[in-house]
Each structure stands twice: as C-alpha cells, then as structure tokens.
Amino acid sequence: MRQVVVFSDLDGTLLDHETFSVRLAVSAVDLLVRRGFPLVPVSSKTASEIRWWMKALFLEGPFVCENGCGLVIPEGYFERIPEGGVKEKGEWRVPLGTAIGEVREKLKEAALEARVRVRGFGDMSSREISRLSGLKVQEELDGAMDREYEEPFVLEKEKDLDRLVPLAEKRGLVITRGGRFCHASGKCDKGRAVGILIVLFREKFPDVLTVGVGDSQNDLSMLLAVDRGFLVGKPDGSHDPAIPPEAAARTRGAGPKGFREAVEEIIAIG
C-alpha cells in the first residue's frame, strides 16, 4: 500500500480526555510503527511534553508543538530543513510563532480593553494548572509550564470570549478553543506547520497518503491540510460542531478509541 503519514492531536484524541491514558490506541500506534508509517504528534502541548510522549510511545520523527507555533525535526530525518531552523541538541527547532512574553503582554492588553478576566498559565501556580489540566505528575506539569510561544488561558465567563477575540486579533493574536483551555498565540496554526511537514514528507516518499486525526476546533486547519481527515468523538458521544462534515469523517469511538478506528480504516483500504 501507499506510504502513510498520520498527523494526530494528543489530548482528547490519542490520549483520553480525562485520564490521559493511551491504552485504547496502543494497538493502532503499534500497527503504524510496525509498518514504518510515521505518527506525527500535532498538539497544544509544549516540546518538552511531547518529547516525553514520543519516548513513552517509542516514536521517532518530527512533531508540532504549541498548536503549530513550533516544529521539531530530528537531525538527518529530512534531506533539508525549513527556513529559520536552528540546530539544538541533535534536533532542528523551527519557530513559527511569537515569543511567549509578547503573547502574554498582548493578551493582557486585549483583556483589559475588553473588560474581561483572563488567567493564563503565566498567572497560575503549578497547583492551579494541575487542577485545571488534570496533570498530576510533576514532570508533566514542568513540561506544560515550559512554554515558548502559546498561552493557554481560562475566562471567568465563557461568553466573554466573543468580546476578547476581536481585540486580541487587532493585536496580532490568534485565539483558539481547545478541550480544556482557550489558547492565545501569534499568527500560526496547526495547518501551516503540518503543511510544511507534508512538503518534506512528499520529498522523502514519492507516493504518500497524509492523514489527520483530531477532536476539536483547533484541529480544523490540520484536518483541512491532509488528504484524509478524521474527527474523533467526545466522551459524551458528540462531535465538535465547529468541524464541518466535509473536513473530516466522524469516528464512532471517542478519543483514543476513535483514533484506533481511524487508523484501522486507513490500513484496511490499503
């Protein structure tokens, strides 16, 4: 069959929304690894967090961190590196987003003008982040706080997001809604980062099928960038209405079960 590359969100997709368990997706991950099909994490998680999961899942290859604001590519994986890549500790780092300090400053300015209350990771203690994120292990918390480009945040009132977004956009920020947090970043998204990697994968493999798997609005640009998109279900069985049907096929299963379903379907059709 054709060479396959799978780009996947982590939280709520490859990882269970509540427990962060990958158990229900392990057989699908193993299937991809055995066939030599790259599995590329595309996540709001930081590079530090994703490296931990790559090691845990025995994955090697590139990944997209902080909702498309950064690319990390192992040295020697591709014949060339995208413009702006910086070599660091055996890997190439490709910054696509605005530095975190500037993002936080602009988010606070927008919130002040909108007269809404915003609390970002930069305002929270590790205990508060643990409570809101569900992360319990200190190593995971440290990784989540090691941000370079994007600020996850919560609003006192969810309806205030409509007032915040245009004022944030006026300052050059992009606001996306994830499973647990809203996210503020410079003008970057998962689709742009995935598009860069798709070009490199097509140079590496003459005939490649690109697949995207996600669960929420901030995966839309990724799902539109690939050949085949899949939207996994939420824990209550629903699907994010922000993802149009033409962008992604709906899986019956939620989270990692839906991821497994998507991979099995791709492998079955050859």
Catalytic amino acids? 9
58/39 Cα distance (integer angstroms): 10
Structure tokens given for 139: 């190593």
How many CB atoms sit inside 10 A of residue 142's CB? 14
Tokens 């205990």 locate to 127
With beta carbons less than 8 A apart as the criterion, state whether 1 and 31 touch: no
Looking only at the bridges linking them, the beta strands covering 208-214 and 3-8 are parallel
How does DSSP classify residue 11? B
9/196 Cα distance (integer angstroms): 17
With beta carbons less than 8 A apart as the criterion, state whether 221 and 191 touch: yes
Tokens 């490296």 locate to 51
Phi, psi of 252 (to 5 degrees): -75, -40
Looking only at the bridges linking them, the beta strands covering 63-65 and 70-74 are antiparallel
With beta carbons less than 8 A apart as the criterion, state whether 2 and 42 touch: no
123/141 Cα distance (integer angstroms): 14
159/190 Cα distance (integer angstroms): 25
